[in-house]
Chains A and B, each alone.
Chain A
Amino acid sequence: MTHIAIADQEPHLHHPKTFIGKYIWSQDHKVIAIQYASTAIFVGLVALLLSVLMRLQLGYPETFEFINPNVYLQYVTMHGMIMVIYLLTALLLGGFGNYLIPLMVGTRDMVFPYLNMLSYWFYLLSVIILMASFFVPGGPTGAGWTLYPPQAITEGTPGAGVGIIMMLASLAVFIVAFTMGGLNYVTTILQARTRGMTLMRMPLSIWGIFIATVLGLFAFPALLVSAIMMLFDTVVGTSFFMPAILSLGEPLQHEGGSPILFQHLFWFFGHPEVYIVALPAFGMVSDVLSVHARKNIFGYRMMVWAIVIIGGLSFVVWAHHMYVSGMNPYFGFFFATTTLIIAVPTAIKVYNWVLTLWRGDIHLTVPMLFAIGFIFTFTHGGLSGLFLGNVVVDLPLSDTFFVVAHFHMVMGVSPIMVLFAAIYHWFPLISGKQLHTGLGKLHFWGTFLGTYAIYLPMHYLGFLGVPRRYYALGEASFIPESAHALNEDITIAAIIVALFQIVFIINVIWTLRSGPKSERNPWGAASLEWQTPDVPPKHGNWGDELPVVHRWAYDYSVPGVEEDFIPQNVPDSEVPGHPEHPEFKPKDSREED
């Protein structure tokens, strides 16, 4: 088999000599991935802290002096926005996307390394603007992460002056960063795959990241449009979204605008955003399940199709967030139908994950535990989505804690279970060291059981009708005393979950400093990223020769073959036990389709 010499299809790799060139102004996708991931995890911890503060207020509404209604709404808003955009999107695509794409498709770097570097620096700039808004007069915006006008830019909302402008500016910069990264990911996957890596041989992680990036490229413009138009409304005084209204009794100069127009734009971005987060998670969890069950992913083609179909459908369901927004009620028929249809491909994915484990050889490693935990939490969160997607059921439940519980199960806890699975799974590749298993299991149990203790009861607060985004419930005839007690319990569970994350941080720091060196491919994974000549891979990833791919990424436990996995870059003739192997002695014939 011929290998390709470097010169053939090499991008111009920029090999820096200095420390700053290597680790700060780096154009190496792996360094950029780590920069993205560390920044995202840092802001994620800020958002985690904000959520604890929020829970303190909800659990003990009359205790904490520094939490007034202003700062409470600011916590709510910043927690939501950071988690959805600056943590999940950035970590899944900027972090894992950046790290895995070149390694998994067998190239030396992204096709535009310089643009990739710029992408990170723009992302960092957006984070700095966002964090700076905590320190401006009036503080950050407290309009809720949905930033609905008119309230987002009128006086009765915290941060309606400088805070909202900084938020919109930060989002605009983030979108520029995402577009630079996204063009890179898409082009790299389409154009820079190594020989033999057909699209249908790509691991599902890459499929998930690929479709999510495409969704992002076409959905983020909607957010950018709404941000720009709202900036015009608040800075220049135009009336795109602003009708003639009063603000705290004073008439404003706006006239004729439509707040619902903003909601359409926002959710045209906002719903695909759910899948921008979910699809990479779907992909990565598929790979983790397959590796640790020593079994090919069940129904690979169906999994790819489901990703593509979900991605397509995600653009025609947005108004299910707007059933009670005052839009034309006849839209409800259409959007309820499309929303429930999307449940079918999603359910297929769940079945196939479980069927991957079925008749597998399940190693209950830490990544596997998180992956199994994901199946459970995602099933729960996905099913509660069927309530909210069905327009009439949404009426009593929308804007209550049921919604909060649902989206935290489905796009908070579930992707984060996958992120942890992915971190534990790929940590040996990234650092050459394996995270401590005992601490990992402790972290898993605390996170898995703790989050369920938070969100299962929260659904029932929603059924009661407890509204979300309330600083304090006060007295309402339909809310029993026990609901307040339940809120306290949820707060305690939330604090416990937050504390368990310290276990994770300790594990990472301890492992990096003094953990033992890991094996090259400790899980026996078949996909390409584990087959680099050096672990962790060096700049350029593949040494002298790019790998050539001979099979899909899921040849685990192939009948007749001695090892329980065949790496993607090993040809049949080099597989002991394979009929094409020179020393092959037929025992029992391999099943042929």
Chain B
Amino acid sequence: MVIAVVLLALVVFTVIVHLASPWWLTPLASNWGSIDSTIEISFWVTGVVFVAVNLFLAWVVWRYRHTNKHKAHYEPENKPLEGGLTLVTAIGVAAMLTPGLIVWANIVNVPEDAQVAEAIGQQWQWTYRFPGDDGELGSADARHVTVNNPFGLNPEDPTGQDDVLINSHRIHLPVDESVKLYLRSTDVLHNFAVPQFRIKMDLVPGTETHQWFEPSRTGTFDILCEELCGIAHYTMRGQVVVEERAAFDDWLARFPTFAETQRQPQIDLAAGEQLFTSCAGCHGQDGAGNPDQNAPNLTALTPDYMARQLRYYRDGIRGTHREDTAGQQMAAIAQSLFSGESPGADQRNLLAYIDQLPDVDSPATIDGDPKRGRRVYEPCAACHGVNAEGRPMLSAPQLAGQADWYLRRQLEHFSLGWRGEHPEDQYGTQMQLMTRTIKSPERLENLLAYLSSL
């Protein structure tokens, strides 16, 4: 009796939840409106069946509940009824399947004139590649990957030399132009998904997959990895910026070609030493840093990492939050640092000089339980290394030997959103999400004590 009423109520409730739900497909931003239409059709067909079957069930349970007054009807089978229901079901199924297969045919057939691009996944970041003037992507393979060739392009392949490498988690695409996006992974399975575009596809190491779409409105959309790819899977985020053609062309022009990244420029250590005198005031002659000046230990950092941070400081990506006074200070210095004729060469020389300084271990200043900190460090180890030695291939800086007060401040800034908030900060979102695994001040202190002990 109650169950009949409850079934009726659940059907009504389900329909209301569906109609009133604020949670629904995000507004479409691609040409795949036909997918939404197929979902709509599926909803009508399945919705009618759901309501009909369960209302009938509720009525039957109420009408034929045990009363001592009636006996069950005896009817082993009813062929016309069963046959009729089978037919109706088959028609309903065909009504969903047919549009589905038609749309799938469109998804399978990539338009000839689609612009080609490539998204590359690795644990746990996205980078991209566009073909150069030849309109063709050069061959690439995980076996070619080195620190100097992180995209793994085949150095021997002439078609790859003019490929434009986007070493950023953000890709720009022109609006209203179809794109055939090749997908390549250098390590494990990933999945390239933009909810607003509706389609998604796995990246499969050892082979190349693709998807195609046509962005239909300008804006910035999140890219998610939707294939479990290891512990930091949930932090593997990117963004698509859809903009007008002209803006897109400007953006693309800012990135180097593969050939340009492969040139090995001359290094002048003496010039670097000269430039370093202005840094030594805060960071010390030995580069070991100074807590009183808020200066971290530079000898624990790689040139790549420092180059990226200097760029962030210069471009207003880091050190802009008003609570981050030390960051603001460094941002000002970074902007005025290379005033010479060739700032690029100056920066290279400076960083090369710092790189050859002997490593100095920063003393521990924070009390904590290193044993417990080891457990807090567990998820960090994947990128920063089991001994916190850093993994340059993953752009993860060394943490062992770095000043603990500095690490504490950065971790706090990440978790408060004072660092890593800028959309261009490639690893910002990742670090913001990862610092939330620390969860309490005691655990932070234990973590730092553990790092100091390494």
Which B residues touch A376, using CB under 8 A?
A: 7, 10, 54, 57
Query: Once the chains bind, are A340 and B96 in contact (CB under 8 Å)?
Result: yes
- Cβ of B265 < 8 Å from any Cβ of A? no
Query: Once the chains bind, are A336 and B206 in contact (CB under 8 Å)?
Result: no
Identity of the chain B residue whose Cβ is nearest the Cβ of A469 in the assembled complex:
B228
- Cβ of B100 < 8 Å from any Cβ of A? yes
Query: Once the chains bind, are B73 and A384 in contact (CB under 8 Å)?
Result: no
Interface bin, chain B = 35 or more
Which B residues touch A352, using CB under 8 A?
A: 82
Interface bin, chain A = 35 or more
> B1: shortest Cβ distance to chain A, in Å?
7
* Contact stretch, chosen from B59-67, B169-177, B304-312, B358-366: B59-67
Which B residues touch A332, using CB under 8 A?
A: 104, 108
Which A residues touch B201, using CB under 8 A?
A: 324, 326
Query: Once the chains bind, are A243 and B107 in contact (CB under 8 Å)?
Result: no
- Cβ of A386 < 8 Å from any Cβ of B? yes
Query: Once the chains bind, are B22 and A482 in contact (CB under 8 Å)?
Result: yes
Which B residues touch A392, using CB under 8 A?
A: 34-35, 38, 100, 103-104, 107
Query: Once the chains bind, are A400 and B226 in contact (CB under 8 Å)?
Result: yes
A358-B143 contact in complex given A344-B93, A379-B53, C-beta closer than 8 Å: no
Which of A73, A246, A296, A474 has the most chain B CB within a 10 Å cutoff?
A246
Which B residues touch A256, using CB under 8 A?
A: 206
Which residues of B from 30 to 61 have beta carbons under 8 Å from A?
32, 34-35, 38-39, 42, 45-46, 49-50, 53-54, 56-57, 60-61
Which B residues touch A144, using CB under 8 A?
A: 228
- Cβ of B356 < 8 Å from any Cβ of A? no
- Cβ of B454 < 8 Å from any Cβ of A? no
A471 to B230, alpha carbons, bound, how many Å? Answer: 11
- Cβ of B137 < 8 Å from any Cβ of A? no
Query: Once the chains bind, are A355 and B81 in contact (CB under 8 Å)?
Result: yes
Which B residues touch A472, using CB under 8 A?
A: 234, 433, 436
Which B residues touch A355, using CB under 8 A?
A: 78, 81
> A412: shortest Cβ distance to chain B, in Å?
18
* Contact stretch, chosen from B155-163, B254-262, B389-397: B389-397
Which A residues touch B433, using CB under 8 A?
A: 472, 474
* Contact stretch, chosen from A30-38, A64-72, A94-102, A168-176: A64-72
Which A residues touch B64, using CB under 8 A?
A: 293, 357-362
Which A residues touch B71, using CB under 8 A?
A: 294, 361, 557, 564
> B321: shortest Cβ distance to chain A, in Å?
16
Query: Once the chains bind, are A457 and B17 in contact (CB under 8 Å)?
Result: yes
Which A residues touch B76, using CB under 8 A?
A: 296, 298-300, 554
> A207: shortest Cβ distance to chain B, in Å?
16
A476-B222 contact in complex given A154-B188, A248-B383, A333-B101, C-beta closer than 8 Å: yes
> B114: shortest Cβ distance to chain A, in Å?
15
A32 to B425, alpha carbons, bound, how many Å? Answer: 60
Query: Once the chains bind, are A343 and B89 in contact (CB under 8 Å)?
Result: yes
* Contact stretch, chosen from A209-217, A460-468, A511-519, A527-535: A460-468
- Cβ of B382 < 8 Å from any Cβ of A? yes
Query: Once the chains bind, are B188 and A251 in contact (CB under 8 Å)?
Result: no
A293 to B78, alpha carbons, bound, how many Å? Answer: 18
Which of B14, B32, B70, B193 has the most chain A CB within a 10 Å cutoff?
B193
- Cβ of A258 < 8 Å from any Cβ of B? yes
- Cβ of A387 < 8 Å from any Cβ of B? yes
Query: Once the chains bind, are A348 and B228 in contact (CB under 8 Å)?
Result: no
- Cβ of A550 < 8 Å from any Cβ of B? no
Which of A64, A361, A482 has the most chain B CB within a 10 Å cutoff?
A361
Which B residues touch A486, using CB under 8 A?
A: 23
A464-B42 contact in complex given A249-B391, A337-B97, A376-B57, C-beta closer than 8 Å: no
Which residues of B from 229 to 279 have beta carbons under 8 Å from A?
229-235, 237
Query: Once the chains bind, are A351 and B82 in contact (CB under 8 Å)?
Result: yes
Which B residues touch A65, using CB under 8 A?
A: 439-440, 443
Partner of A398, one of B74, B200, B378, B382: B200
A556 to B207, alpha carbons, bound, how many Å? Answer: 61
* Cβ proximity bits A380-406 to B, threshold 8 Å, 1 near / 0 not: 100110110011110110111000000
Query: Once the chains bind, are A326 and B23 in contact (CB under 8 Å)?
Result: no
- Cβ of B198 < 8 Å from any Cβ of A? yes
* Cβ proximity bits A433-467 to B, threshold 8 Å, 1 near / 0 not: 00000000000000001001000110011011101
Which B residues touch A474, using CB under 8 A?
A: 234-235, 237, 429, 432-433, 436
A246 to B150, alpha carbons, bound, how many Å? Answer: 11
- Cβ of B338 < 8 Å from any Cβ of A? no
Which A residues touch B221, using CB under 8 A?
A: 477-478
Query: Once the chains bind, are A480 and B233 in contact (CB under 8 Å)?
Result: no
* Cβ proximity bits A344-379 to B, threshold 8 Å, 1 near / 0 not: 100110111011011111111000010011011001
Which B residues touch A578, using CB under 8 A?
A: none
Partner of B189, one of A246, A259, A362: A259
- Cβ of A29 < 8 Å from any Cβ of B? no
> B26: shortest Cβ distance to chain A, in Å?
4
A256 to B142, alpha carbons, bound, how many Å? Answer: 11
> A335: shortest Cβ distance to chain B, in Å?
11
Which B residues touch A47, using CB under 8 A?
A: none
Query: Once the chains bind, are B73 and A295 in contact (CB under 8 Å)?
Result: yes
Partner of B77, one of A299, A369, A456, A477: A299
A361 to B69, alpha carbons, bound, how many Å? Answer: 9
A460 to B16, alpha carbons, bound, how many Å? Answer: 13
Query: Once the chains bind, are A348 and B85 in contact (CB under 8 Å)?
Result: yes
Query: Once the chains bind, are B66 and A391 in contact (CB under 8 Å)?
Result: no
* Cβ proximity bits B117-145 to A, threshold 8 Å, 1 near / 0 not: 00000111000000000000000011101
- Cβ of A21 < 8 Å from any Cβ of B? no
A354-B60 contact in complex given A251-B142, A326-B201, A470-B234, C-beta closer than 8 Å: yes
Partner of B234, one of A63, A69, A142: A69
> B208: shortest Cβ distance to chain A, in Å?
9
Which B residues touch A142, using CB under 8 A?
A: 231
Which of B25, B72, B76 has the most chain A CB within a 10 Å cutoff?
B72
Query: Once the chains bind, are A302 and B104 in contact (CB under 8 Å)?
Result: no
Which B residues touch A400, using CB under 8 A?
A: 226
> A253: shortest Cβ distance to chain B, in Å?
11
A155 to B383, alpha carbons, bound, how many Å? Answer: 10
* Cβ proximity bits B437-454 to A, threshold 8 Å, 1 near / 0 not: 101100100000000000
> A373: shortest Cβ distance to chain B, in Å?
8
Which residues of A from 126 to 156 have beta carbons under 8 Å from B?
142-144, 148, 150-151, 154-156
A157 to B241, alpha carbons, bound, how many Å? Answer: 31
Query: Once the chains bind, are B187 and A246 in contact (CB under 8 Å)?
Result: yes
> A241: shortest Cβ distance to chain B, in Å?
10
- Cβ of A509 < 8 Å from any Cβ of B? no
Query: Once the chains bind, are B429 and A395 in contact (CB under 8 Å)?
Result: no
Query: Once the chains bind, are A380 and B26 in contact (CB under 8 Å)?
Result: no
A409 to B260, alpha carbons, bound, how many Å? Answer: 55
> A157: shortest Cβ distance to chain B, in Å?
5
Which A residues touch B188, using CB under 8 A?
A: 150-151, 154, 156, 245
A245 to B22, alpha carbons, bound, how many Å? Answer: 43
* Cβ proximity bits B98-117 to A, threshold 8 Å, 1 near / 0 not: 00110111011000000000
Q: 4 additional contacts, CB 8 Å, given A246-B393, A361-B72, A395-B200?
A: A324-B200, A360-B73, A379-B49, A386-B45
A–B pairs, 25, beta carbons within 8 Å: A64-B439, A142-B231, A148-B227, A154-B187, A245-B186, A245-B188, A246-B186, A249-B391, A295-B72, A329-B107, A352-B82, A360-B72, A362-B65, A372-B3, A379-B50, A380-B14, A390-B97, A392-B107, A399-B191, A399-B193, A464-B24, A464-B26, A473-B234, A478-B26, A557-B72
* 3 closest A-B pairs by CB: A243-B206, A249-B393, A465-B195
Q: Which residues of A contact B (CB under 8 A)?
A: 61-65, 68-70, 73, 142-144, 148, 150-151, 154-158, 243-251, 256-260, 293-296, 298-302, 324-326, 329-330, 332-333, 336-337, 340-341, 343-344, 347-348, 350-352, 354-355, 357-364, 369, 372-373, 375-376, 379-380, 383-384, 386-387, 390-393, 395-396, 398-400, 449, 452, 456-457, 460-461, 463-465, 467-478, 480, 482-483, 486, 554, 556-559, 564, 591
